[in-house]
């Protein structure tokens, strides 16, 4: 049975990445062309033999390239826009599965998509109405409260050291906050950037990234019930309040007692909203008609990183990919 794969993100990403790789290998594009990249998927479906049939276009401001997958082969094809449209129309007429545009989503996912699209629209943020949520409630397993608490507090202490780097007070910050990490038993909880901050092998970019990690920490604090709402991504977090969550505690156990993990549904709702914010940020890079409202892109990315980490199997949130 033929199945329309137009909503299979992983498959489409694989096809597009293969096409980009082919263009790079043949020196038809360079990394400098990437900011203007756009993709138009003509069709993509799986056949009765479980092979992929696809036709799509990768465009740049001054050039475009067409690619096809057919009978197990992937190739660049020498066609133009008119031939592209004619081929898509022909295939649609002869392969009814292409005309099946029903989103493969559960009732919960549909409700989440529609609610978050409506909320974003009120904020004057452009979203794709049929951008399907990436998370299936039944298959998602949240990290437990203790794990999230330990990640949040470890991140917080290293952020303070990183902030002192910008003030040329690295050693002073390290001398104060490294003992705090040890006292709370968190030295084994550091991710890659945090470890470099603590052991002194950091780059200035590491220090900048750790400063922005305040927003990932803030998202964790929201998930732990310490922050009321983070749906507004226009402003940075309340640093004074963020500091108070931890500095009033003498142990990780004392911090955890103040926390109550939000429900899976609430966390996935918020993560999906930030996924849509991230989509708008990416789309605005190639589409001048996309409105971001008052979104702060860095706030969006870092808060999404924290939320994604909660539902992922990754230990280091800098190993996460954030597709949108």
275-317, pLDDT tens digit by residue? Answer: 999 999 988 887 778 999 999 999 999 999 999 999 999 999 9
Higher pLDDT, 126 or 323: 126
Considering 50-54, 110-114, 215-219, the range whose residues carry the highest mean pLDDT is 215-219
Q: In the structure encoding, which two tokens stand for residue 163, read together?
A: 């902030």
Q: How confident is the model at residue 130 (pLDDT cuts 50, 70, 90)?
A: confident
Task: Find, among 231, 260, 257, 228, the residue nearest to 241 by Cα.
Answer: 228
Q: In the structure encoding, which two tokens stand for residue 296, read together?
A: 């702060």
The pLDDT value recorded for residue 286 is 73
Q: DSSP alpha helices (H): ranges in 6-79?
A: 9-25
Mean per-residue pLDDT, 146-150: 97
Tens digit of pLDDT for each residue in 158-184? 999 999 998 888 999 999 999 999 999
Q: What's the CA gap between 81 and 60, in Å, rounded?
A: 14
Q: Is the pLDDT of residue 323 over 90?
A: no
Asked whether the beta carbons of 295 and 233 are under 8 A apart, the reply is yes
The pLDDT value recorded for residue 38 is 84
Contacts of 150 (CB under 8 A, 6+ apart): 186, 189, 252
Give the bridge partners for 46, in sequence order: 3, 52
Q: In the structure encoding, which two tokens stand for residue 120, read together?
A: 């974003």
Helix (H), strand (E) counts: the chain: 11, 5
Backbone angles phi, psi at 104, to 5 degrees: -80, 70
């Amino acid at each position: 049975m033929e199945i329309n794969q137009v909503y299979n993100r992983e498959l489409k990403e694989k096809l597009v990445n293969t096409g980009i790789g082919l263009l790079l290998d043949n020196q038809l594009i360079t990394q400098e062309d990437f900011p203007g990249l756009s993709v138009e998927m003509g069709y993509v479906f799986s056949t009765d033999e479980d092979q992929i049939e696809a036709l799509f276009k990768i465009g740049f401001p001054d050039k475009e390239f067409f690619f096809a997958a057919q009978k197990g082969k992937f190739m660049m094809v020498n066609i133009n826009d008119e031939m592209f449209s004619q081929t898509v129309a022909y295939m649609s007429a002869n392969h009814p599965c292409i005309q099946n545009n029903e989103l493969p989503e559960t009732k919960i996912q549909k409700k989440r998509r529609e609610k978050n699209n409506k909320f974003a629209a009120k904020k004057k943020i452009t979203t794709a109405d049929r951008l399907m949520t990436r998370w299936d409630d039944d298959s998602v397993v949240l990290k437990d409260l203790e794990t999230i608490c330990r990640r949040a507090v470890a991140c917080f202490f290293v952020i303070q050291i990183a902030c002192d780097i910008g003030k040329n007070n690295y050693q002073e910050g390290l001398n104060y906050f490294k003992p705090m990490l040890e006292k709370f038993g968190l030295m084994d909880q550091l991710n890659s950037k945090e470890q470099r901050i603590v052991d002194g092998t950091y780059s200035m970019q590491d220090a900048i990234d750790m400063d922005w990690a305040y927003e990932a920490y803030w998202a964790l604090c929201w998930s732990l019930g310490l922050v009321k709402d983070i749906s507004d991504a226009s402003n940075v977090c309340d640093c004074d309040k963020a500091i108070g969550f931890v500095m009033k505690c003498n142990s990780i156990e004392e911090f955890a007692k103040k926390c109550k993990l939000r429900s899976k549904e609430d966390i996935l709702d918020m993560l999906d909203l930030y996924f849509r914010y991230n989509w708008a940020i990416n789309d605005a890079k190639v589409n001048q008609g996309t409105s971001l409202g008052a979104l702060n892109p860095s706030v969006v990315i870092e808060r999404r990183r924290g939320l994604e980490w909660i539902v992922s199997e990754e230990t280091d949130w800098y190993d996460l990919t954030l597709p949108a």
